[in-house]
Chain A
Amino acid sequence: MIALLMRDLRLAVRAGGGFGLGLAFFLIVTVLVPLGVGPETALLSKIAPGILWIGALLACLLSLDRIFALDFEDGSIDLLATAPLPMEGIVTVKALAHWLTTGLPLVLAAPALGVLLSLPQGGYFWIVVSLLVGTPALSVIGTFGAALTVGLKRGGLLMSLLVLPLYVPTLVFGAEVARRGGEGLVVQTPLLMLAGISCGAVALLPFASAAVLRINLR
């Protein structure tokens, strides 16, 4: 499993440029928003947590079809399926690799982009915390969506339609943590809910993703 993780990480960093793509997309989205709504600081700082969350979510979505598509095309997913590894382990590692190459850079980049959106003073810490807690759920849910649509032509658009409704609870609680943190309110309840969603998704969804992937490889 570690070997698989290292392979996926190396592939993401060296080949295809998938590593920087999500980050660049995140940057573009956050730059476009002030251009769209105007440069008023008060308005921007009010919507900054939400924008950062939506940007992170879209950047995550953009890189999802890489999780299985390349392996499916060159057949290495079949080799992995016949390897003495449970399918659940494979999808978990895939989700972890996706999180390390997409989720984690987004978390680290969020404060820097927060400056562009004039995020309120207290917000920097909480946007990092909420993204750190929430992005694993995004990766795991996304892996499920990617596994559902792996064999399909033009699966990308369909995957967005399937995955985005599943992202709703994570987005609501994540943005709520960031917003409340920015305004100096108590964040405990949404933070616990967000953590609960992440833990639940990480614990249970790999089984669904594995089942789906098995069906698709049948």
Chain B
Amino acid sequence: MSIWEYANPVKFIKTTDRMMPYLAVGAVVCLVSGLVWGFFFTPDDYRQGSTVKIIYLHVPAALMAINAWMMMLVASLVWIVRRHHVSALAARAAAPIGAVMTLIALATGAIWGQPMWGTWWVWDPRLTSFLILFLFYLGYMALWEAIENDDTAADLTSILCLVGSVFAVLSRYAVLFWNQGLHQGASLSLDKEEHVADVFSSPLYVCIAGFVLLFIALVFLRTQTEIRARRARALIARERLA
């Protein structure tokens, strides 16, 4: 029994089908309870008023935007090393989700920034590196779409993902060097000074758990779709030959 058994598409679909209800229900429960708790049962911040509550969407989305890229990186490595098709398809499935998460983080940040910083957008290091991350997602998805042969596309995009990761990290430090920026430090950290107050952080953890579950469920669902689409295409091709 090893994890590589799940590289078998049939086994993958069967297992994820069994996990899907739990994931979906867990995601809904966590998101609804976390958001309701966060929006209605936490006090207003003494400086930011009620705008602070956008944190329950902004922080989890930003976290998942980065983690989605990380997951794609791992999946790409697995594809390059062991050539399991499910892995390549999972990386492909995660990209649009990551892009949407990046967009949510940018949009909620802008909505929060308007009343707080007095501007929708500043060229702050964190904002800029998120915008660049979004561009990386776009390029990655465009490359997948552009290449007809599936294996070639998987190979090329996984190498792009590896190179892109290095350059994404480099860009992160480059823009950090370039402008010190307005964005506050990490919201969740072991450092007490930096950490948001406990009243705000408990619902935040629930929201993060909800986003993680949602992400996993969506990736599973989209990977299944990709597998089935590829099967359907293979069937059509066989029909045509016969």
A interface residues with partner B (beta carbon < 8 Å): 144, 148-149, 152, 155, 158, 161-162, 164-166, 168-169, 172-173, 176, 189-190, 193, 197, 205, 208, 211-212, 215-216, 218
Contact = CB atoms under 8 A, between A and B. Distances in A.
A47 to B, nearest CB: 15
Sorted nearest first, the 5 A-B pairs with minimum C-beta distance are A169-B174, A172-B174, A169-B170, A165-B135, A162-B139
Contact of A165 (B132, B156, B162, B175): B132
Nearest to A205: B163
Interface residues on B, range: 20 to 34
Nearest to A160: B139
Given A148-B143, A148-B156, A158-B142, A208 B174 contact: no
A114 to B, nearest CB: 22
A56 to B, nearest CB: 17
B187 to A, nearest CB: 26
Contacts of B173: 169
A216 B174 contact: no
Contacts of A215: 152, 155-156, 159
A197 B170 contact: yes
A165 B139 contact: yes
Contacts of B142: 158, 161-162
Nearest to A214: B155
A208 B162 CA distance: 9
Contact of B178 (A158, A162, A172, A212): A172
Contacts of B138: 161
Nearest to B135: A165
B167 A168 contact: yes
18 contacts: A144-B163, A148-B143, A148-B159, A152-B147, A162-B139, A162-B160, A165-B136, A165-B164, A166-B164, A166-B167, A168-B132, A168-B167, A169-B167, A169-B170, A205-B163, A215-B152, A215-B155, A216-B152
A189 B176 CA distance: 13
Nearest to B168: A165
A205 B175 CA distance: 22
Main secondary structure of the interface of A (DSSP, over half): helix
A162 B143 CA distance: 8
A162 B138 CA distance: 8
B141 to A, nearest CB: 10
A89 to B, nearest CB: 19
B147 A166 contact: no
B177 A190 contact: yes
A164 B134 CA distance: 12
Contact of B177 (A158, A162, A172, A216): A172
Contacts of A216: 152, 156
A218 B147 CA distance: 14
Contacts of B147: 152
B201 interface: no
B110 to A, nearest CB: 20
A161 B139 contact: yes
A27 to B, nearest CB: 28
B51 interface: no
A187 B163 CA distance: 28
Contacts of B170: 168-169, 197
Interface string B110-124: 000000000000000
Contacts of B159: 148, 208, 211-212, 215
A158 B143 contact: yes
Contacts of A190: 177
A189 B173 CA distance: 13
A183 to B, nearest CB: 15
Q: Most chain-B CB neighbours within 10 Å: which of A148, A152, A162, A193? A: A162
Given A148-B156, A169-B171, A212-B159, A193 B143 contact: no
Interface in B165-192: 167, 170-171, 173-175, 177-178
Nearest to A176: B178
B146 interface: yes
